[in-house]
C-alpha cells in the first residue's frame, strides 16, 4: 500500500496496525498523519539507517508539487536562494556556504579536495566512513585513532598524531555509531588548537538532537576565520534523506576550493523542499519530540533487561547486546526488525535507529524475546 492510500485509510488514535500477527496501537491522530507523513507501518521495521520515519511534511510536499513547473530549469538560482537562507541561519555570508547532494557529498568532496594523492586524514574508529572511504580511492591515507573508554573521540591522541602529512581531521560529533558527544570545552579547545595546524572537519549531522543547553556548533570557529569546515544535512530532523540536500560552512577560501569539486548538486524539487523545511518549525519540533519519546521507550526496555547503553545525543541508540552482532542481527530480523550493521571493534554492540512509536514497540517486543 502506498502512502497516499494508507493516509486515506488509517490514523485515528485508537487505530491498530498488524505486523506478524501482532496488533500495535497507533499513537498518531489523523491530523498528525496528514501533516507529518509517517512511513507506512510494514515489516520488517527498518531501524538500520538513522532515517527520520516522518516526512516530508505536508508543507514540504505542497512546495515540491508547486515546483514541478520548474523541472525544466537548471537549479542554479535555487541553490543560491537556499545558500542565502542557510547563511542567514548560520550567521555567515553566502560565500561561506557550499550546497551539495546531501552532506555525504560534502564529506566526500572535502576529502578529495584536501587529502588526495597521499594526504592524511586523522579519524576516529568507529565513525561515519564516507569521507575516508572515498578519499582513499584518490590516494589518501587514514590515521585511525580508537575511541576512548567512554566511546568518544580521543582528541588528545588525535592531536598528538598531527604531522606535516595531515591534511584533515575528521570529527563526527555526535559520533555515528556511538551517539557520544565531546564535552563542549574540550571540543572547543581541541578544534581551536588543531585548526592552527591543519583543517578540522566537524560533521554535525545530528547536531539538532543534542539536548545539552548552549552546546556549541563549530560554525562559531568558522566565523572567527579558523581552518574549520562544518557539515549539516536535511536528511535527519527535516526528514528529507531521499531528496539529498546538505551543506558545508567554511571560510570563503576553503569553501571556494571545495565548490570547484562539487558534482551532484541538488534538483529543483529537493532545493524547494529544503527551503520550505527550514521554515517548518512545527515539523521540526514534532520530529525532535518523537525521537525523544522513542528513545525513552527503548531505554525503559533496555533497563528492564539490564542492558548497557549510551544515553543518546542523536536519533539512534548504541547498546551492548553481549553477543556477536551478526547473530543478533539475524535474530532481530527473524522477529521483524532490521538493525545496524557491525561496527568493529564493537562487535557485540548494536546501533538501533528511532522509528515511529509503532516500530519502536515492535523493536522492544523483539528485544525482550531475544534477550530474556
Q: To the nearest whole number, what is the mean pLDDT of the chain?
A: 92
Residue 243 makes CB contacts below 8 A (sequence gap 6+) with 56, 234, 266, 269, 270, 273, 274
Checking 16-21 for CB contacts under 8 A at 24+ apart, the result is 17/41, 17/358, 19/43, 19/45, 19/336, 19/358, 19/362, 20/335, 20/336
pLDDT tens digit sequence for 64-94: 999 999 999 999 999 999 999 999 999 999 9
Give the containing element (helix H, strand E) for 203: strand 199-203
Q: Report the pLDDT averaged over residues 22-48.
A: 82
Reported confidence tier of residue 26, pLDDT bands at 50, 70, 90: low
Residue 113 to residues 262, 277, 307: CA-CA distances in angstroms?
10, 30, 43
Q: Is the predicted pLDDT of residue 164 greater than 80, yes or no?
A: yes
Phi, psi of 337 (to 5 degrees): -140, 130
pLDDT tens digit sequence for 210-246: 999 999 999 999 999 999 999 999 999 999 999 999 9
pTM score, whole prediction? 0.92
The SS3 assignment for 47 reads coil
Residue 19 to residues 41, 44, 119, 176, 291: CA-CA distances in angstroms?
8, 8, 50, 29, 21
Residue 24 confidence (pLDDT) = 54
Dist. CA 77–CA 80, nearest whole Å: 5
Reported confidence tier of residue 1, pLDDT bands at 50, 70, 90: very low
Bond before 336 cis per omega within 30 degrees? no
Dist. CA 55–CA 259, nearest whole Å: 29
Dist. CA 200–CA 195, nearest whole Å: 6
Three-state SS for 1-33 is CCHHHHHHHCCCCCCEEEECCEEEECCCCHHHH
Per the structure block, which three cell numbers stand in for 78?
535555487
Residue 10 confidence (pLDDT) = 37
Reported confidence tier of residue 138, pLDDT bands at 50, 70, 90: very high
- What are the DSSP calls for 265-281, one per residue? ---HHHHHHHHHHHT-H
Reported confidence tier of residue 25, pLDDT bands at 50, 70, 90: low
pLDDT tens digit sequence for 251-287: 999 999 999 998 877 899 999 999 999 999 999 999 9
> Given this chain, do its domains 60-278 and 281-323+331-342+351-372 carry the same CATH topology?
no
Per the structure block, which three cell numbers stand in for 210?
543534542
What is the DSSP secondary structure assignment for residue 247, as one 8-state letter? E
Burial 315-350 (b: 16+ CB within 10 A, else e): bbbbbebeeebeebbebbeebbbbbbebbeebeebb
Domain limits, the chain? 60-278, 281-323+331-342+351-372
Architecture field, domain 60-278:
3-Layer(aba) Sandwich (3.40)
CATH code at 281-323+331-342+351-372: 3.90.1150.10
Amino acid at each position: 500500500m502506498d502512502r497516499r492510500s494508507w493516509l486515506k485509510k488509517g490514523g485515528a488514535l485508537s487505530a491498530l496496525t498488524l505486523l506478524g500477527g501482532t496488533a500495535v496501537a497507533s499513537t498518531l491522530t489523523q491530523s498528525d498523519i496528514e501533516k507529518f507523513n509517517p512511513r507506512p507501518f510494514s515489516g520488517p521495521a527498518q531501524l538500520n539507517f538513522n532515517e527520520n520515519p516522518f516526512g516530508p511534511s505536508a508543507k514540504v510536499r505542497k512546495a515540491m508539487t508547486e515546483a514541478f513547473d520548474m523541472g525544466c530549469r537548471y537549479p542554479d538560482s535555487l541553490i543560491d536562494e537556499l545558500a542565502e537562507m542557510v547563511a542567514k541561519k548560520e550567521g555567515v555570508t553566502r560565500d561561506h556556504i557550499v550546497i551539495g547532494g546531501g552532506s555525504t557529498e560534502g564529506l566526500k568532496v572535502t576529502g578529495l579536495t584536501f587529502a588526495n594523492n597521499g594526504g592524511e586524514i586523522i579519524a576516529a574508529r568507529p565513525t561515519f566512513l564516507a569521507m575516508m572511504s572515498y578519499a582513499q580511492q584518490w590516494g589518501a591515507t587514514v590515521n585511525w585513532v580508537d575511541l576512548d573508554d567512554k566511546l568518544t573521540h580521543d582528541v588528545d591522541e588525535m592531536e598528538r598524531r598531527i604531522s606535516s602529512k595531515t591534511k584533515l581531521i575528521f570529527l563526527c560529533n555526535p559520533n555515528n555509531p556511538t551517539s557520544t558527544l565531546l564535552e563542549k570545552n574540550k571540543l572547543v579547545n581541541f578544534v581551536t588548537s588543531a585548526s592552527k595546524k591543519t583543517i578540522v572537519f566537524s560533521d554535525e549531522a545530528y547536531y539538532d538532537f543534542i539536548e545539552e543547553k548552549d552546546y556549541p556548533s563549530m560554525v562559531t570557529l568558522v566565523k572567527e576565520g579558523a581552518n574549520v569546515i562544518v557539515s549539516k544535512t536535511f536528511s535527519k530532523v527535516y526528514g528529507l534523506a531521499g531528496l539529498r540536500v546538505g551543506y558545508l560552512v567554511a571560510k570563503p577560501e576553503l569553501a571556494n576550493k571545495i565548490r570547484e569539486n562539487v558534482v551532484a548538486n541538488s534538483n529543483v524539487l529537493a532545493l524547494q523542499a529544503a527551503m520550505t523545511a527550514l521554515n517548518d518549525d512545527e515539523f521540526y519540533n514534532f520530529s525532535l519530540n518523537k525521537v525523544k519519546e522513542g528513545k525513552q521507550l527503548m531505554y525503559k526496555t533496555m533497563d528492564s533487561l539490564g542492558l548497557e547503553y549510551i544515553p543518546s545525543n542523536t536519533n539512534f541508540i548504541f547498546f551492548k547486546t553481549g553477543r556477536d552482532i551478526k547473530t543478533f542481527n539475524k535474530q532481530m530480523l527473524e522477529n521483524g526488525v532490521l538493525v545496524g550493521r557491525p561496527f568493529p571493534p564493537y562487535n557485540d554492540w548494536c546501533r538501533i535507529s528511532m522509528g515511529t512509536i509503532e516500530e519502536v514497540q515492535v523493536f522492544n517486543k523483539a528485544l525482550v524475546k531475544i534477550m530474556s
